[in-house]
Every structure is written in structure tokens, then in C-alpha cells.
Structure 1
Amino acid sequence: MGIKMILNAKAVYGVPVKIFTTDVDEQSLTQLRKMAQLEFIHSHIAVMPDVHVGKGATVGSVIPTKQAIIPAAVGVDIGCGMNALRLSLKAEQLPDNLSALRNAIERKVPVGFEMHKQVRAKASTLTPMEKRLERITRKHPGLTRMLRHFNSTWQKQLGTLGGGNHFIELCLDENQDVWVMLHSGSRGLGNAIGTYFIERAKKEAQHRFGHVPDRDLSYFAEGSSLFDDYFEAVEWAQEYAYENRREMMRLILEAIRPLLPSFQMTKEAINCHHNYVQKELHFDEEVYVTRKGAIRAGKDEYGIIPGSMGAASFIVKGKGNPESFCSCSHGAGRKMSRSKAKISFSQQDLIQQTQGIECRKDKGVVDEIPGAYKDIHEVMANQQDLIEVVHTLRQVLCIKG
């Protein structure tokens, strides 16, 4: 079950687009054709089976670039990703009613626009991050005006969930082992960094590589000061996202310990990005790989592919497929927009589709209803050449931002 479609670029310059599914909407195909026209794309663009239209670049795309980075392809939720940890508990050790666990986690981990009242993270984590951030804001003081109470906000948001499709879950695997799983990114400051540099790229368009078919594909060329500044800032945001998930996991475990039998953490722990850029070697050339809604799936590397809030999720191991640039999907992928989901489904639909799961069932999360997402099992079937499944999880508790 490998590549299902190939778009061959018809522009003066272009690369193929190799797609691991046939379930692709027209808007996504249009975006992908534009991306393929960029002269600095290396080899081809790979598209994962959870593909859907995105802002700037198509979600589910893996974009290898030579001597350039597209800030809008990385996006504004820089470093967004997953964290999962298996506990030494069995399903039978969980209480019959999980509402107390959900309430305890929500008291410890702020969700939505909320943040901690005081800084919770350790100074050993914050101090080096603060020093690196000061270097970035000295060069770009405009960043500090994009976030209210700049310094205190990014520190108080460390260890918080955010909104949208970010979540915290308790899950059970095929052996009835208990897992804690969460999905979050770089919060307000990551958004500010992404927005700031996307606008700079559009305003100060560079033309080293010729025509750009869409302003959202404006780029920074390697060797320019803005390229170096952006790469430093995006690396900072990716580290922040990683630490945010780690701090959240610590707080979740702290919240649930008093309510459960004594437990230990197993060695199976995964913390991975799915919106990020980093330097990698592919087809004998060092390139910048932007994964826009995709995770790295190098040979024997572990990753997490969540379904919707009413479907299975998967712990996977990569096969290192070169055609996908050692990547796989980051989830099920939306099949309809949030606005369409809100008018297509009712609160009763949500209640029905999340039966047996301790979670919010109000109108405020109807846009996250399982029916708004692609079938995760079809998505997984389309990437058998990319990953192997290690564990299959089903959620019993879900907290949405």
C-alpha cells in the first residue's frame, strides 16, 4: 500500500508530488501543485494519507527544501505534537467512573486560553530558554508586542494545553495497559513567532529562486539574516513545545496519583513533533525538511498517530521509507472544516459518537466530533509501507481544549 497518486508538475519548473492516498480534496491538490512549482524543492513532495487543505501549505505534506524555508509551511503552531506514556496499571485498576480523574487533571492543567497563575516550570528549564529568547527579541523587538505580558505569559503557559484539537487522554491498549497521551504545541509565543515571520517573509519577498506561485509560499533564503533569525526562533519554539508537553505530562501524573493505585512509568515514552522543520539527509543531499502535519518515521523510530476523540489511536514504529522522507501521518486528518462540522452535527450526534468516553459533550466541542475526521483505519491501511503498528489504543477519558 504505497504511493497511490503522483502529480507531475506542469509548470516551467516543478517536482512530482507523491501521495499515499486517493482521498484528496481539490483544494489540497491545488495547494500541492503550487508548492511543487517552487524551484528549491528537493526531489519531490510527499503527502501523507491524512492530507487535507491547510493555511499556507497542505496539512499532511512533507516538504524538503534546499537553501530555503517557507515559514507558512511550518505554520503558527510550531512544534505541535504528541506525548504518550505507558503506566504500570491495568484497565481493571481504573475507577468505574472517571469523572474525578478528569476533574483532577483539569484543575492541574489549564485548557483553552487559560494559563497557570504562577510559573510552574523549574528554573533549570526556564533560564536557558529565557537567555536564548532574549537574543531573538533583541533582533526582533516586534515579537514582544505580539503577546500580552510577554515574559510572564510564555512562562505561565508552559505546561498548558491550549484549544482547538489539542487534548489529554487516558487510553487502554490491546493488553489493557493504561496510557496517558496528550497533544499540544508551543502555545501563544509559538503562534506569535510563526505569525511574525510569515508576515516578514511576505513583506520582504526574496527572489533568489524565481517565481513564487502564492504569497503564502514566501520563503527565506539560506544565507540571509532573516533565514538565520527565523531558524533560531523556530528551533526555540520547537524546544518550547517539547518542554510544554513534558511539563504537562508531569502535572497530569501528579494529578492522578492520589486517585489511583500506586504506579510506575514504563520505558515506553514518546515525545514527537508533527509541525516542524529540521535539517536531514535525503537522497544524498542535506535539506530542510518541513513536516506540516506529519511525524518522522525513520527506521525503528517510535511515533504516535491519534485518531479522533471517538476512534482508535496508534503507537507506531517507522520503516524509514525514503519516498516519504521517513515520514507518516500525524493523525486521521479532517474531512470537513470546523464551521461545516458545527452545522452538520448536533450535540446529540456528539453524545452518540463518544459513548463510553468520559469527555465534554457540549456544543462547544461539536467541531471536534469524530464524524468530522477521516476514518483512521483507512488512513492506517494506506501507510503500511511507512510504519508498523506496535500498540492500538482506545481512549476512555478525553479532555479537549
Structure 2
Amino acid sequence: MSKLKLRGKDIRALGYPEGPVISIAMNIMEKEYKFEKEEVVMNLLRAILASPVEYANDAVLGLIAQQLLPNQDPEGADVSLNQTGVAFSIFGGQNIEQGAMNQMYQAAKLPVAVAGALMPDAHSGYGLPIGGVLATENAVIPYGVGVDIGCRMCLSVFDIDPKELIQKEAYFTRELQAATLFGGGRQFEKTASHEVLDRPEFDEIAILKSLQGRAARQLGSSGSGNHFVEWGIVEIGEADPVLGLAPGNYLGLLSHSGSRALGASIANHYTRIAKEKRVLPGEARNLAWLTLDEAEGIEYWLAMNLAGDYASACHDIIHAKISAQLGRKAVGRVENHHNFAWKEMVDGRECIVHRKGATPAGKDVLGVIPGSMTAPGYIVKGRGEAASLASAAHGAGRKMSRTAAINSITHALLKETLGKHGVKLLGGGLDEAPQAYKNIGEVMQSQQELVDIVGRFTPKIVRMDG
């Protein structure tokens, strides 16, 4: 069997930045995975790039992941944590790993913290845990928002008999393949037109000037990791005045992706600045913040909102392409961010509410909470519950790291699971297998006081990276 041989330009094409990480990745993969297929290795490198924090402690791959994380040793003013943290609510705590709990306890001790909540799909992240919600006073935490700023769900509902997914499977498969690009470094040769590219922030904020070209070439793409575009069956049991759809079964198009390289570059740039200005102890250093009365904080806030609008535009383009091919307009649409920060009132004062991997669930606010490639997702309506800071879970949540999933789940098991649920998978990998995720039913059970279920989405044709 021939040994693995990688090229630097192929790793750069995945989206890896110029620097030592290229040669480090080549050396480690050629040594530790020398008899593995190149396709498998490149998919693993994509996964590391998409979520370096999940590989940071891996004995082998952590050496690559650490190169992709912000500088851990800045110089700046030391900031101490409070001895006791603000109170925060925990939902579904029996299924939340201790690492995520510890990260939330640290966040609650920040001097700027006002209130918090932990969602039932929570798991460890980088800084604030995934599924963590934190309200702060006049402060925004870049890693409280997350690297994939504006990561978003978007569901278009068509008045088409979902049986057509079986009758015309080849047609619907082709449309998923044609509508978007997947992969960390993928870019279109021909750029799409959208007003978001004409935003003045691209000229007014220095870092954004260098990112505009790539943002244009990635507009309408979907990224890697757990991002997807899929066809499925939308079931509406009872009419809801907010959703506005009659009871019945519909054809649904559901997409999940964020702000691509634009958001990641913004997150890492302003995290470095925050960590230079405010040095926190130990692992809490990843919770460094910027205030909204200093130039850098104002810049980040503007750039974050631009990235969120850019993520929304990516979904708009994907859904518009497919709608045009169908020759039908959607009869309903539900969408929401789940990596973002908002100015909201908390206990009578304006705060910055960070939802990292959490769905906005204000009173009568609609959202989509997906399951996995075989588990159903849910259209929900928020109850505006104060204890959760008007938030809910953003999905089933991982119960297994990507490395653990790759090492313990077989292709045969994935194929068997897909067949059992009648799901056709385009791309995807073992790190995204259904077994890597928590039970979405238990997650929804744990947040009955946070949202009402007004519809259900069952995946049938799923496209992911790989």
C-alpha cells in the first residue's frame, strides 16, 4: 500500500491559513495516518479546521488544532473572577457533561456577568460552552458568540406532496448538489449578487476590507462540520396563528450554516484583541470581552452584525436557487441564528445576551431545532421564559466528540442506521453520525417550559461536506 503524501496547496485550499500550521498538518498526517486514504485524511483536516476546540486536547491532532486557536499568552491588564458567580438556570442537567457545567460556572463569575442559562443540548466549547447563554453589562465576548458568527437555521415549506421525494429522488438529489458548495475552503468561480456585499462596513473597518473578496466568492456556500442542506417532510398537526400553516404534510427544505471565513476571521481577530486587553485566569481567558464604549468593541459589534446578515444572505441564495428550480414559492419560512449576541432587557436593564449554540425563544418567536441526519427536527414557538433568558436548545447536542465518533462508529453501522430511517446521505462522515448526538426527544422534553412545538421536520435526503 502506498504511503500518504500531502501537498501544502491542497491543505490551503481547505481554508487553512498561511503559516506553520500547514507544515505541521502535513508532517503529522503523513506520519500518523500514512496508510490512510487521502480523502479520509482531508476530511479529518476539514473537521479540525471547522472545530479546532474539539481536537485541542487530542494527543495527536491537538498539535494541529492548537495552531488554529488564538494566542494563549497575551500581555494585558489582569482581571480577576468574582468568588461567587451570578445565578444561572440549568435545563436537562442530567444529560449535560461536567466540562460544560464548569465552563458555565466560570462564565458566571465574570465581573461583567448579569445572568445566565444552560440549555439541555449543552456540551464543552471554547470559552462559553455550546448551549450557554450569558447576559453581560456593556460587554461583548467574541467567544461567547462563537467562531461561526450567525450560524443559522432556515426552513422553507412548499405546498408539494412529500411523496415526490421518493418518486423523483434523482431530481431532488441533483438540486441539492447544484444549489451550494460544501467544504472549509470552497469558493464559487462566479460570485452571486447580494446587497450584503455592498455594506459600508467593508470600507469602514480595516479587517473587513481584506475579507470582502473571499466573502463574495463564498456567498451561498455551506461550509463543513455539522452544516447541511436537506429535504424532508414537514408535518403540521394543528394550525398555529404565528406559523400560519394549515394542518397537513408539506415538502421542506432545511439548511444549516453560518458566516464562513468572514465570521471566523472576525471572531479570531477580535478575540486576540480582547485577550490582549483583559487577561483572565486559566481557561477563563477565552471569555475575554470588549466593552461597547471602546473602539474595538464597537467595531466588533458592527462586524458581528454584518457577519450575521451575511450568513442570512447565504441561506437566501441557496433557498432562492432551489425555489426557482422547483418553479414554486415557499408557503412558509422559519429561520433563526444560534451563534450571536443581542441587546435585550434583563431584569429591567439593557444587557448583551450571548447565545452560543442556543435558539432565541422570545414570546411567540419562531425557530427551528434540528435533530440529526436521521432524527426529526422541530419548528418551535418561544414562550419568552425569563429563567432561560428567552432561549432554547439549538439542536440535539453532541454526546460524543468528533474523534470519539470516528474511532467508535463504523461505516456499516452508519449505513444500517440510514437505511432503517429511509435517509439518503450525500457526503457526511462518521463524526456526524446520528450516534454522536444526544436523543432529541429527551432534549425537547427538558425544555417544555421554554418552547411549544408547532411542527416537525423529518430528514429524507441529506447533503453534507465530504
Matched, 1:263 2:328: yes
CA shift, 1:252, in A, is: 2.5
Q: Which residue of 2 aligns with 1:106?
A: 177
Q: Which residue of 1 aligns with 2:424?
A: 358
Deviations 1:19-61 (A, max 9, x none): 001211111121111111112111x311111011111210101
The one-letter code of the counterpart of 2:260 is R
Q: Which residue of 2 aligns with 1:218?
A: 288
Matched, 1:152 2:213: yes
Is the partner of 2:318 in helix, strand or coil? helix
2:192 to 109, 120, 136: 120
- Against the structure 1 CA distance between its residues 213 and 191, is the aligned structure 2 distance closer, same or farther, given a 3 Å change threshold? closer
Q: Which residue of 1 aligns with 2:136?
A: 65
Is the partner of 2:374 in helix, strand or coil? coil
Does the CA contact (< 8 Å) of 2:423 and 2:461 recur in 1? yes
Give the distance between the partners of 2:391 and 2:108, measured in 1 at CA. 18
Give the distance between the partners of 2:161 and 2:363, measured in 1 at CA. 30
Give the distance between the partners of 2:270 and 2:305, measured in 1 at CA. 13
Does the CA contact (< 8 Å) of 2:120 and 2:131 recur in 1? yes
Matched, 1:321 2:358: no
Does the CA contact (< 8 Å) of 1:80 and 1:273 recur in 2? yes
Matched, 1:273 2:343: no
Does the CA contact (< 8 Å) of 1:37 and 1:213 recur in 2? no
- Against the structure 1 CA distance between its residues 11 and 152, is the aligned structure 2 distance closer, same or farther, given a 3 Å change threshold? closer
- Against the structure 1 CA distance between its residues 349 and 97, is the aligned structure 2 distance closer, same or farther, given a 3 Å change threshold? farther
Q: Which residue of 2 aligns with 1:391?
A: 455
Is the partner of 2:188 in helix, strand or coil? coil
Matched, 1:136 2:209: no
Give the distance between the partners of 1:372 and 1:108, measured in 2 at CA. 27
The one-letter code of the counterpart of 1:96 is Q
Scaled by the length of structure 2, the TM-score of the pair is: 0.76
CA shift, 1:265, in A, is: 1.3
The one-letter code of the counterpart of 1:37 is K
The one-letter code of the counterpart of 1:132 is E
Does the CA contact (< 8 Å) of 1:38 and 1:212 recur in 2? no
Deviations 1:50-98 (A, max 9, x none): 0111112101011000011111111110000100011010123334352
CA shift, 1:373, in A, is: 0.2
Matched, 1:23 2:95: yes
Alignment of 1:217-256 (within 5 A): 217-255=287-325
Q: Which residue of 2 aligns with 1:7?
A: none
The one-letter code of the counterpart of 2:329 is Q
Does the CA contact (< 8 Å) of 1:154 and 1:188 recur in 2? yes
Which sits farther off after the overlay, 50-59 or 106-115? 106-115
Give the distance between the partners of 1:100 and 1:365, measured in 2 at CA. 23
Which structure would you say has the larger RCO, counting Cα contacts within 8 Å and 6 or more residues apart? Answer: 1
CA shift, 1:125, in A, is: 4.0
Give the distance between the partners of 1:81 and 1:97, measured in 2 at CA. 28
Give the distance between the partners of 1:68 and 1:219, measured in 2 at CA. 6
